Structure 1
Amino acid sequence: MKRRSVLAIGGAAAAAAAALTATPASAASATSTDRPLSTGDRRLLTGYARDTWRSMEAMVHPATGLAADNIDGALAEATRSAYTSPTNIGALMWSAIVARELGVIDRRTARARISKVLDTLARLDRHECSGMFFNWYDPATGAVLHTWPDNGNPVYPFLSSVDNAWLAAALLVVGNDEASLRPRGERLLSGMDFGFYYDEAARGPDLGAGLMRGGFWPERPPDQPAAVEGNYRGCGPNVFYTGHHYGTLNSESRMASYMGIALGQVPAEHYFAMWRTFTPTCDYSWQEAKPEGAFATHLGIEVFEGHYTYRGLKVVPTWGGSMFEALMPGLFVPESRWGETSWGRNHQVFVRGQIAHGLDDAKYGHWGFSPASDPFGGYREYGVDAMGLDGAGYTSDRERTTVDPGFAGCPDREPKPDPVSYGDGVVTPHAVFLALGHARSDALTQLARLRRDFDVYGPGGFYDAVAVRSGTVAKRYLALDQGMILGALGNVLAGEVLRERFSVGRARRRLKPLLGLETFGVPAVQ
């Protein structure tokens, strides 16, 4: 049943109905952001923001002010998860700023919410030398988790580079937003050293720049035999780093790179040590497709500016082909403006590719693929396989239907026939909201169609995901995904509020010149 609180937003219902009269978009018809928002659009999107904020509030534990990781679709207090992460904590803070800017809550309420979180952060256990936060805390008490609440399995305390980056981004936004909160936010932020993750030798001694590790454990966990003992800062005891580095530029993990560079803890050259695609040689024939491109040199680093071609669209792929990887960092870093000939082009094309996959290839009648709750239980990565570097790929359906275009000239990589059909495609609304800044009309139409076709809207806004052929809905809310929705709405409706708060001072000084140096080899108009 649809809720009156959602539908009674003045002209919002009319705006949604008007959106549904349009023919479903395709890659050829995907629009840019040129069309201004109408009054009805604004009412509709503000209503979405109001309901989405309700879910964030329902996840908050009053004693600590921390948001749980997730809650069920009815927003029942008893269903709040007994764990949270630095990302979830940051998402609550930036969401409170957006809610205030949109008139959902007043300034005093927003300040009190954020102040409570800052107080709790100041007393949480952290890794002493790096100043980084652990990945899992009990949101009711703030204690570091050593046992997983859902099943009693052991938790080996871990410190993730990318999760800490989302929290650091939120702290930077808070400090630039509210003068009264700046000293506490800055004290927390100044203690976080992203250089602790930076392995300058990750790509060998001759490149001139290295990569970021995924994270580290203070003690070697028994289930991680590939963990690498080390200490890149030489501060305190050795730790045990993940066996992998974050080497792909077009991934959500670039937020850790942005924060390290913005804070002056990681050299700017690191930005060009990450791969756009891997080179088109048989050494890298495990990647999804054979890329095209050319070498360029930036800050003394030789870079292969590679791209894939999907349905005629030239695009720098993400690791898995998901919207979250491609677009979440742009909620804070104004990538499309600062990198007009790189990110500005690629974000538009990536969204067009997602639309083309959902409507033209898989013929779901819907689009928006990103990691989310699995409607059949648990959590899973979803994406467009053809737009991901990983050969195994994230897939758009629960049946894991993949494509393999082959890798010409390399053994054992002959192309395989394209799928005849796809299965039960899984769409997540947060992916569509992320597209609002890049294909506004298409995103508005898709959100309206989701509400028309499925029981996908509840008391806290859009539920987390829906399998579009069976109509199975994951009726729960995730702090991360709701935070992405509110972040996207804040940027669209409130003058790019998160980007404006992030991109001042050191972030602008160190990141803006960097993002303007390359083109990605992606044409402006396709």
Structure 2
Amino acid sequence: MNRRRFLTAATGAAAAVCATGPSAFAATPAPAGSAPLRTWFEATYRSITATTTDLGLTADKIDVSGTGAPVPSAQTSPTNIGCGLWSTVAAAGLGVIPPSVMHDRLSRTVTAVERLERAHGWWFNWYDAHDGSILTTWPENGSTVRPFLSTVDNAWLVTGLRIAADADPALRPRIARLLDGADWSYYYTPYDPADPVTGPGQLRGGYWPDKPGKGEPTGHHYGALNTEPRMASYLGIADGSLPADHYWHLFRTLLPGMGQEQVPEGAYVTIDGIRVWEGHYTYRGRKLVPTWGGSMFEALMVPLFVPEPEWSPRSWGTTHQRYVRSQIEHGLDEEKYGYWGFSPANIPEGGYREYGVDAIGMQEDGYNSLGVVTPHASFLALPQAPAEALANLRALDRDFGAYDDRYGFRDSVNVTTGRVSDFVLALDQGMIAAALAQQLRPGLLQRPFRTGGFRSRVRPLLGRERFSI
């Protein structure tokens, strides 16, 4: 399965940070030299609004190749909906829309989310974006869809809901009720020191709830630390539904002797009484903590919201920096494409697949770049390499027409053939919107992840992290 698939305790702290409600999101002067970023954000947000249905749910994608208004796809996911929520908050915070419009759009989406069918407190992986029904048939080819509760997709919806509650106090009671039953322990397999394979202290990929009890679990757990499911881990640790030691049971690399892309280097250390393998890979002489597949969004989507580099500068901050440098050198020096930035996206010729740098992912048959450059990867790299990211994006526009004045950057470009995707995907546009918001108004979307359990439970863990890099 590919990647598309605590509020009550924090309300008081959030209220203290955002006591004035939506007015805290009044426009602020744009930083000097930010004109292209501002223009890009406005176009990106137009794509989000174009993708959002009358019901208020942000659909999976739109085709922007025609001259008329694009039609949102039939399907949406919890991730897509979360992207719509935080993009709207970002638009208000940057002064693109007034607070009253933000409230109306957030309220409409929250109303739609309240009506969506759930199981065990969680949202299903695919809904009809136009009427909110659970999808059992895939709209594009008629194949059967077995309703599924995805750990990572629910994490991104919860992220969007938390951001909406922080931005709009009027919505906090409704969102608190939505999240009241969202208990992350549902996905958690407790650690069993006598059998750490069966009891790894990690989160399942999800459940098919059409079986008795909890349902049928995926055959895998999310074991890798430096991948996007760690957002679910942080959310659960922050609200107390997951134990803090869950963080230490995640793999920096797979253990020595396990099949993986490289033979890892590193050492065992004891942290909080737990024996942790602090392993690393080396790529082009650079030590880093790998992701699962080698893509950009695995490493850098989470720090759009959780300030990992600030809370863990020598560990998370260092590996993020080196990860971006590795992506740049893979595209420019190793493969000599002339462009860089590789992450799962729409295939330019149609379809969807994962792209990445194989050598910095643990999976033995990991993601390859294949000459397909994904603009959202450059936006994710803005904090680590702003000048290079801007130059890369301008080159993709200049050389391939990858930027659309109406709806922002197309989803992908095959730089070996010149083929540009006809689509924009809500997830990738949502990452671009969040990255631009962070660059134009640092911390705008991070406020609910700096208070409450994030401050008291997650931040100390990151402060004790000691990667072997």
The amino acid of 2:210's aligned partner reads E
Residues 1:103 and 2:95 are matched in the alignment: yes
Q: Give the SS at the match of 1:498.
A: coil
The amino acid of 1:88's aligned partner reads N
Q: Give the SS at the match of 2:455.
A: helix
Quick one: which of 322, 342, 345 aligns to 2:318?
A: 345
Residues 1:257 and 2:254 are matched in the alignment: no
The residue number in structure 1 matching 2:373 is 427
Question: CA separation in 1, counterparts of 2:435 and 2:70?
Answer: 29
Question: CA separation in 1, counterparts of 2:90 and 2:228?
Answer: 21
Question: CA separation in 1, counterparts of 2:393 and 2:71?
Answer: 27
Task: Using the TM superposition, give the Cα deviation of residue 145 of structure 1 relative to its aligned residue in structure 2, in angstroms.
Answer: 0.8
Cα contact 1:318–1:326 (8 A) shared by 2: yes
Quick one: which of 475, 489, 493 aligns to 2:436?
A: 489
Cα contact 1:203–1:211 (8 A) shared by 2: no
Residues 1:195 and 2:185 are matched in the alignment: yes
Quick one: which of 383, 389, 400 aligns to 1:443?
A: 389
* Distance 1:191-1:341 versus aligned 2 partners, 3 A rule: same
Q: Give the SS at the match of 1:79.
A: coil
The residue number in structure 2 matching 1:460 is 407
The residue number in structure 2 matching 1:79 is 71
Quick one: which of 396, 414, 433 aligns to 2:369?
A: 396
The residue number in structure 1 matching 2:448 is 501
Question: CA separation in 1, counterparts of 2:195 and 2:245?
Answer: 14
* Distance 1:469-1:505 versus aligned 2 partners, 3 A rule: same
Give runs of aligned pairs for residues 54-133 of structure 1, distance below 5 A.
54-62=46-54, 64-74=55-65, 76-77=68-69, 79-127=71-119, 130-133=120-123
Q: CA offsets, 1:258-289, max 9 Å, x none?
A: 111111101010001010012333xx1x2111
Q: CA offsets, 1:153-198, max 9 Å, x none?
A: 1111100000000111111222222211111111112221111000
Moved over 2 A (4+): 37-40, 74-79, 201-209
The amino acid of 2:185's aligned partner reads G
Cα contact 1:70–1:81 (8 A) shared by 2: yes
Task: Using the TM superposition, give the Cα deviation of residue 501 of structure 1 relative to its aligned residue in structure 2, in angstroms.
Answer: 3.2
* Distance 1:206-1:427 versus aligned 2 partners, 3 A rule: closer
Task: Using the TM superposition, give the Cα deviation of residue 103 of structure 1 relative to its aligned residue in structure 2, in angstroms.
Answer: 1.5
Give runs of aligned pairs for residues 292-303 of structure 1, distance below 5 A.
292-303=265-276
Cα contact 2:31–2:440 (8 A) shared by 1: no
Task: Using the TM superposition, give the Cα deviation of residue 206 of structure 1 relative to its aligned residue in structure 2, in angstroms.
Answer: 6.3
Cα contact 1:357–1:367 (8 A) shared by 2: yes
Cα contact 1:341–1:516 (8 A) shared by 2: no
Structure with more of its chain in helix, by fraction: 2
Q: Which structure has the larger Rg?
A: 1
Deviates more, 1:303-312 or 1:499-508: 499-508
Residues 1:214 and 2:190 are matched in the alignment: no
Task: Using the TM superposition, give the Cα deviation of residue 317 of structure 1 relative to its aligned residue in structure 2, in angstroms.
Answer: 0.4
Supply the RMSD in Å over aligned alpha carbons. 1.6
Q: Give the SS at the match of 2:313.
A: coil
Question: CA separation in 2, counterparts of 1:238 and 1:510?
Answer: 27
Task: Using the TM superposition, give the Cα deviation of residue 291 of structure 1 relative to its aligned residue in structure 2, in angstroms.
Answer: 1.1
Cα contact 1:169–1:502 (8 A) shared by 2: no
Task: Using the TM superposition, give the Cα deviation of residue 375 of structure 1 relative to its aligned residue in structure 2, in angstroms.
Answer: 0.7
The amino acid of 1:269's aligned partner reads D
The amino acid of 1:68's aligned partner reads A
Cα contact 2:123–2:154 (8 A) shared by 1: yes
The amino acid of 2:300's aligned partner reads L
Task: Using the TM superposition, give the Cα deviation of residue 205 of structure 1 relative to its aligned residue in structure 2, in angstroms.
Answer: 4.2
Task: Using the TM superposition, give the Cα deviation of residue 209 of structure 1 relative to its aligned residue in structure 2, in angstroms.
Answer: 6.1
Report % sequence identity: 51
Question: CA separation in 2, counterparts of 1:306 and 1:327?
Answer: 19
The amino acid of 2:236's aligned partner reads G
Question: CA separation in 2, counterparts of 1:77 and 1:502?
Answer: 36
Residues 1:50 and 2:42 are matched in the alignment: yes
Task: Using the TM superposition, give the Cα deviation of residue 447 of structure 1 relative to its aligned residue in structure 2, in angstroms.
Answer: 1.0
Question: CA separation in 1, counterparts of 2:274 and 2:292?
Answer: 22
Question: CA separation in 1, counterparts of 2:82 and 2:392?
Answer: 28
Question: CA separation in 2, counterparts of 1:320 and 1:203?
Answer: 28
Cα contact 2:64–2:70 (8 A) shared by 1: no
Q: Give the SS at the match of 1:486.
A: helix
Q: CA offsets, 1:103-140, max 9 Å, x none?
A: 2111111111111011111111000xx30000000011
Residues 1:318 and 2:291 are matched in the alignment: yes
Task: Using the TM superposition, give the Cα deviation of residue 502 of structure 1 relative to its aligned residue in structure 2, in angstroms.
Answer: 2.5
Quick one: which of 247, 258, 266 aligns to 2:223?
A: 247
Give runs of aligned pairs for residues 7-46 of structure 1, distance below 5 A.
39-40=32-33, 42-46=34-38
The amino acid of 1:468's aligned partner reads V
The amino acid of 1:448's aligned partner reads R
Deviates more, 1:359-368 or 1:65-74: 65-74
Structure 2 residues not aligned, in runs of 5+: 1-29
Question: CA separation in 1, counterparts of 2:92 and 2:193?
Answer: 44
Cα contact 1:172–1:189 (8 A) shared by 2: no
The residue number in structure 2 matching 1:420 is none
Question: CA separation in 2, counterparts of 1:194 and 1:77?
Answer: 40
The amino acid of 1:95's aligned partner reads S
The amino acid of 2:363's aligned partner reads D
Residues 1:518 and 2:465 are matched in the alignment: yes
* Distance 1:395-1:202 versus aligned 2 partners, 3 A rule: farther
The residue number in structure 1 matching 2:5 is none
The amino acid of 2:242's aligned partner reads V
Give runs of aligned pairs for residues 220-235 of structure 1, distance below 5 A.
none
* Distance 1:276-1:503 versus aligned 2 partners, 3 A rule: same
Give runs of aligned pairs for residues 269-280 of structure 1, distance below 5 A.
269-280=245-256
Q: CA offsets, 1:472-515, max 9 Å, x none?
A: 11121100000000000111111221112322122221110011
The residue number in structure 1 matching 2:10 is none
- State the TM-score, normalized to the length of structure 2: 0.90
Task: Using the TM superposition, give the Cα deviation of residue 79 of structure 1 relative to its aligned residue in structure 2, in angstroms.
Answer: 3.4
The amino acid of 2:80's aligned partner reads N
Cα contact 2:51–2:71 (8 A) shared by 1: no
Question: CA separation in 1, counterparts of 2:340 and 2:179?
Answer: 37
